A = this chain, B = another copy of it.
Amino acid sequence: MTTEPAEAGRDPEAVSKFVEGFAAQLVEAGMQRMPARVFAALLASDSGTLTSAELGESLRVSPAAVSGAVRYLSQQHMVSREREPGSRRERYRVHSNQWYEALTNREAVLKRWESALREGVDSLGAGTPAGRRMAETLAFFEFVDGEIVAMMERWRVQREERFGRG
């Protein structure tokens, strides 16, 4: 029995197929390639954690690439980093329920759109046709902001019923 790489006993081909396929979807939705692949690999791991070395090996990329991808993902709160006690190894973890909450936390993006639209309404004039169009768009985004919060609360209830506290 050798030192198994945690994810032993699974068909590496099937895993890789999923990883690349899901990553491709994320890329199409606007995510950079390497963060997408790293994230998909974590999502597909049984433990939900992988070390830098494991990621580099299974994705066939340099430690530098892993480092950059992980920095991005943790800024987006899609993964967290933890140091294994008594080791130089770092583990990266996807919290199954937290990652998609991060997805809906595009709030910062919405806020910036809103602020740009507010400036537009002001500088073009609230009474002009263009100003009114922007004001309506702005109102929509403000509406969405609130709805998302409520939606996530409903989801948390439903999730607990169906999946338990995770």
Contact = CB atoms under 8 A, between A and B. Distances in A.
Interface of A: 10-11, 14-15, 17-18, 21-22, 25, 28-30, 43-48, 94, 96-97, 99-100, 106, 109, 112-113, 116-117, 119-120, 123-124, 128-130, 132-134, 136-137, 139-141, 143-144, 147, 151, 154-155, 158-159, 162-163, 166
A96 B137 contact: yes
Contacts of A133: 43, 48, 94, 96
This chain: copies in complex:
2
Interface centre among A44, A99, A134, A141 (most CB of B within 10 A): A44
A15 B124 contact: yes
22 contacts: A14-B123, A15-B124, A18-B123, A18-B124, A22-B120, A25-B113, A25-B116, A28-B112, A30-B30, A43-B120, A43-B134, A44-B134, A45-B130, A46-B130, A48-B130, A96-B137, A100-B137, A132-B163, A136-B163, A143-B155, A144-B155, A151-B151
A43 to B, nearest CB: 7
